Structures are given as C-alpha cells and as structure tokens.
Structure 1
C-alpha cells in the first residue's frame, strides 16, 4: 500500500496551472519538521493536487499556510534542457481526502488557539 500522510507549512505560494483539456493542477512545497532539539530536521516535499481541490488550494492557501496532505508517493522522470535525465519524487494528493486546511479562519475573535480544519468542496 502506498499511502502518505504529512502535516506541514507551505514554503511558497501555490501555483495553479491548467492542462490543455482544462483540468487544474496545483503545485507547492511542504515543509515538514521531524525530531526535536538537536536532532530536529526539516524535509521539503513537493506536492501535486488535481481538479477542484487544486483550485481551492490556489484560492485559499499562501506561503506559511498549515495543511495536512493525504496521498501517495510517486516518482517521475524527464529529460532536462541539457539532455540529462531528472528524477522527481513527489506527493500526489488523494482526490477525495487529499488536502485539509489547518489554519484558523482569520477575523474570528471567538476562536480557540487550536487549529481548525476547513472543508474543501468537491
């Protein structure tokens, strides 16, 4: 089974593009902390989101947004402009449970300090 679940923050604003057939694809990098103290390290994971969820990510997320990603780990290859083969490993978000927005809604003074999940419409 190939299933990945990560929680982290976006390192840059998400980029939304559209395929020739009109399907939305959103890409961003997720920073995920691991360990603590002297042993703390961060991983920077490329994430790909498709369809309506991609559009929601592009409209709602920004650099620093906290999200939970559920998806699968994939690897793809291509030849760069110099003719060298490049291999990329990335997380492709699940189309139904792929992205949960974990930042609190802004402007609500009655909210607790706990992070709140925001539902993504499909």
Structure 2
C-alpha cells in the first residue's frame, strides 16, 4: 500500500503563470506560503503548485498574489540536468487535484468562494 496525499492552506506568493497548449490542455503554476508555527514567530514554508485543466483555468481567473487557497494533491519531484554543470537537479512540486478558493470578496475584486475538483469536470 502506498499513500501520497498533500493538504495545504496558504496564500499565493505571486500571480499564477498560465500556459495553453495546442492540444487544448492548460497548465497553471504558482507558489503558496504556509505558516509554520514556531515558539518565537510564524515562519512560512513555500510550496510550488502545478494545476491542469479546469483547476488551472479557475486559478488563472480567480487567484492573485495574496489570495487564500486550500489545495489537495500529491507530491512529485521534477528532475532535470543542469545545463551549466551537468549535475542532476530536482524540485518538489504539488500536483493539485482539488482547489478551494477560501478568501472573501473583500480580499480580492473577484469572488473567492467555491471548490473545484479535477474529477468533477
């Protein structure tokens, strides 16, 4: 048995980057900051998110820097070879399967309520 589930709630660190492909697929990437409580202060942990399809379109239309979002997804490692050194590199990415817009209308001009799940569309 194996399990790979990630649940996070945090604020978008930047506006989403969106790519449209000739195949009709849509890819959206952005980061979120999740506060990790310590005794002296809250320290943010940063996570790279990757969304596809309908979730990507929703994020592109409604998520802005500072938006509060909840995500459910799985952890994957993107790996590549560094062009300059030839060294193998990797970076953890959360592949989002469900996106929850948690902010209020006051937080952003766009409405921020609703839940979007890849399997619903």
Residues 76, 93 of structure 2: 8 Å contact kept: yes
Shift of 1:52: 1.1
SS of residue paired to 1:12? coil
* Superposition map of 1:7-26 within 5 A: 7-26=9-28
Unaligned runs of 5+ residues in structure 1 are: 108-115
Q: Does 1:91 align with 2:91?
A: no
Q: Distance in 1 between matches of 2:99 and 2:51?
A: 8
Secondary structure of the 1:86 match is strand
Between the aligned partners of 2:78 and 2:17, the Cα distance in structure 1 is: 19
Match of 1:104 in 2: 104
3-state SS in 2 of match to 1:27 = strand
Contact residue 20 and residue 26 of structure 2 kept, 8 A: yes
Q: Pick the structure with more strand per residue.
A: 2
Task: Output the CA distance in 2 between the equivalents of 1:15 and 1:88.
Answer: 18
Distance in 2, matches of 1:84 and 1:20, equals 32
2:23, 2:77 → 1: CA distance?
Answer: 23
Let me know the Cα RMSD of the aligned residues. Answer: 2.0
Which of 111, 114, 118 aligns to 1:118? It is: 114
Tell me the SS of whatever aligns to 2:40.
Answer: helix
SS in 1 for 2:24: coil
Q: Which ranges of structure 2 fall in alignment gaps of 5 or more residues?
A: none
After TM superposition, the score normalised by the length of structure 1 is 0.81
The DSSP-based 3-state class of the residue aligned with 2:64 is coil
Q: Are 1:69 and 2:71 matched, yes or no?
A: yes
Distance 1:25 1:65 in 2: 19
